[in-house]
Amino acid sequence: MLLDPIQPCEYLSNWIRCYRIIHFNFEEGAPLHPKLYTPRPEFCLQFHLRDAESIQYNYTAAKERSFNVSLSGHYTNTQLRYVPKHFLSVQVVFHPEGWRMLFNNETLLDQTIEASLVLGSSVNSLYDELANSLSYQDIVSVLNKYLSIRFSKLKTIDHPFFAIPRLMLGHSTTRSIDWYVKNAYYSNRQFERKFKDLTGLSPKEYLRIVRFDRVFRWRNKYPNEDWLSTALEFGFHDYQHLSKEFKEFTGYSPTQFESVDENGPDSIAGIAEV
């Protein structure tokens, strides 16, 4: 079983946040509940190297079989992901500026598309090479080689603005939007427009998802902490403020969410996203 972020080679670290290998093997007959896949600030290239998962993009929609290789932008609501009993998937999670360089500003807000529509047929050969890899290390090596070649052919983006979403992800406390505007060397109006062009979200929306994702991972790491302490840790006024965010993003209160999420495949396997 594996659900861990893995760092790319140093050359790619400016453009790629991490690789994530998700590997589950469940016994036949074991009941599998869907994974509540929460909103997260991620641009993602994903490979399903064994059986593909099925996804419900909201609680009432029909399940859709995922593509073997897909591209997806930020999702602003929770998806239900149904994994098969033998599941191996690899995600390449991009920094927004890396995504912009490689995919020509296809923000794909609340969308998933087949990767070959953008990357061409070469991605199918990459899929075959990954599927035939004998170890996790081999998978990482194949990705490093392919993506290093792709990025080496592109012009580097060096304006300070393009580092701002990464700064938002890296700061342990949420700074004011004015601080980010000042360090991007744009006016407020320019910053708002360019940020939405880059990420598909306004700066305020992006920071909300960043904070929510931090809370989600914090709770996985410290499941016994009380909810009021968690709310205050991440700058919410009180528990009610945090609960409102949870209901908007997931449809559940915090305690309801954890009760449902503990039946997901990662929880059953005894691992968690942190």
The 3-state secondary structure of 234-259, one letter per residue: CCCCCHHHHHHHHHHHHCCCHHHHHH
Q: What global pTM score does this model have?
A: 0.94
Please report the pLDDT score of residue 174 as a whole number.
66
* Stretch (H or E) spanning 80: strand 79-82
Judge whether 94 and 17 are in contact, CB under 8 Å: yes
pLDDT tens digits along 166-193: 899 987 666 889 999 999 999 999 999 9
d(CA 191, CA 203): 9
Domain-located, residue 274: no
User: Which residue, 115, 140, 156, sits at the end of a domain?
Assistant: 156
Domain that holds residue 214: 160-267
* Eight-class DSSP state of 76: S
Domain-located, residue 189: yes
Instruction: Please count the other Cβ atoms lying within 10 Å of the Cβ belonging to residue 166.
Output: 16
Domain-located, residue 272: no
Domain-located, residue 32: yes
- 3-state SS assignment for residue 81: strand
d(CA 106, CA 89): 23
d(CA 170, CA 176): 14
Q: What CATH number does the domain containing 128 carry?
A: 2.60.120
d(CA 116, CA 70): 8
Parts of the chain with a pLDDT under 50? none
Query: Domains in the chain: how many in total?
Result: 2
Judge whether 165 and 199 are in contact, CB under 8 Å: yes
d(CA 16, CA 95): 5
- Supply 63's token pair: 């399940």
Domain-located, residue 109: yes
| CA distances in angstroms from 27 to 85, 86, 146, 223, listed in the order given | 7, 9, 34, 27
Domain-located, residue 273: no
Type of residue numbered 16: I
Please report the pLDDT score of residue 212 as a whole number.
96
User: Which residue, 130, 156, 182, sits at the end of a domain?
Assistant: 156
Same domain (yes/no): 191, 89? no
Please report the pLDDT score of residue 4 as a whole number.
76
| CA distances in angstroms from 98 to 4, 63, 142, 158, 179, listed in the order given | 21, 31, 18, 11, 23
User: Which residue, 134, 156, 178, sits at the end of a domain?
Assistant: 156
Same domain (yes/no): 152, 164? no
Domain-located, residue 143: yes
pLDDT tens digits along 105-120: 678 999 999 999 999 9
Please report the pLDDT score of residue 72 as a whole number.
95
* Phi, psi at 84, each rounded to 5°: -75, 170
Same domain (yes/no): 149, 177? no
Same domain (yes/no): 64, 183? no
Please report the pLDDT score of residue 28 as a whole number.
79
